[in-house]
Amino acid sequence: MSKLEFVSPEGYRIDGRRPEELRRIQCKLGVLSRADGSAYLEMGNTKVICAVYGPREVTERRKMQYDKAIINCEFSMSTFASSERRKRTKQDRRNVETALIVKQTFESTILLNLFPRSQIDIYIQILQSDGGDRAAAINASTLALIDAGVAMRDFVCACSAGCIDGSPLLDLNYVEGTANGAELPVALLPRTNGIVMLQMDSRLPIDMFERVLRLAMEGARAV
């Protein structure tokens, strides 16, 4: 059985990209008329739609904070998002984890104390998944929040990078992501280069880690 080569000898990946090349990004703001802010984002074949409601009155009184806004985030994948139809509930562990990551990312970026006693809702739906879900979700949320007019410190840009067979690659698609390498989504604020979110699945030796991290930051800045 021939081993699938992720990087060909000429330096091309499976989809014809170079190792440090991002996928094509397209986005559109204001796609949902009823939401305060909304955005549709495509990173290659990964398609994400995000709706933001807020700041608005808190729905659960006991969660209300008198001095700042609370962020409520829900992340879900459509059943037709991956190559086989799979039904996932919102309470699925991976969905809850991703929602929590997005929430924490924006808790540090949105100027929450400008909106006391309010709630900001972020709803993310993946329409088609081809790797880099979390990065695309964060990018779409940033655009939707800006469309809604929510005050933020800066854009939050995210990109994932990984390391397969010893070579660092940027913006992994689904095939590369499920290979036995590590994936590292990184989100940062371009103006200050401060990292807002960093996650890692599976293990990575420490020297590779630095290279991959630097590559991911470059990619995120390019976004």
Give the interface segment with another protein, choosing from 111-119, 162-170, 174-182, 210-218 (CB under 8 A): 111-119
Interface with another protein (CB under 8 A), residue total 26
Strand partners, 46: 43
Q: Pick the binder of another protein from 42, 121, 133, 147 (CB under 8 A).
A: 147
Q: Does residue number 111 form part of the binding site for another protein (CB under 8 A)? A: yes
d(CA 135, CA 121): 19
Q: Of the candidates 209, 208, 163, which has an alpha carbon nearest to the alpha carbon of residue 183?
A: 163
Residue 222 contacts another protein per CB under 8 A: no
Options 63, 149, 178, 202; binder of another protein; rule CB under 8 A: 149
Print burial letters for 74-100: b (CB count within 10 Å at least 16), e (below 16): bbbbbeebbeeeeebeeeeeebeebbe
* 116 touching another protein, by CB under 8 A: yes
- Pick from 201, 169, 133, 189: nearest CA to 17: 169
Q: Is 168 in the site for another protein (CB under 8 A)?
A: no
Q: Pick from 43, 126, 144, 148: which binds another protein (CB under 8 A)?
A: 148
Cα–Cα distance, 59 to 49 (Å, whole number): 23
Among 4, 14, 100, 151, binds another protein (CB under 8 A): 151
Residue 75 binding another protein, by CB under 8 A: no
If the CB atoms of residues 88 and 153 are measured against another protein, the closer one turns out to be 153
Q: At what angle do helices 93-109 and 133-148 cross, to 10 degrees?
A: 40
Closest distance between another protein and the C-beta of residue 214, in Å? Answer: 22
Distance from C-alpha of 64 to C-alpha of 82, rounded to nearest angstrom:
37
Where does this chain bind another protein (CB under 8 A)? 30, 36-37, 54-57, 66, 111, 115-118, 146-155, 189-191
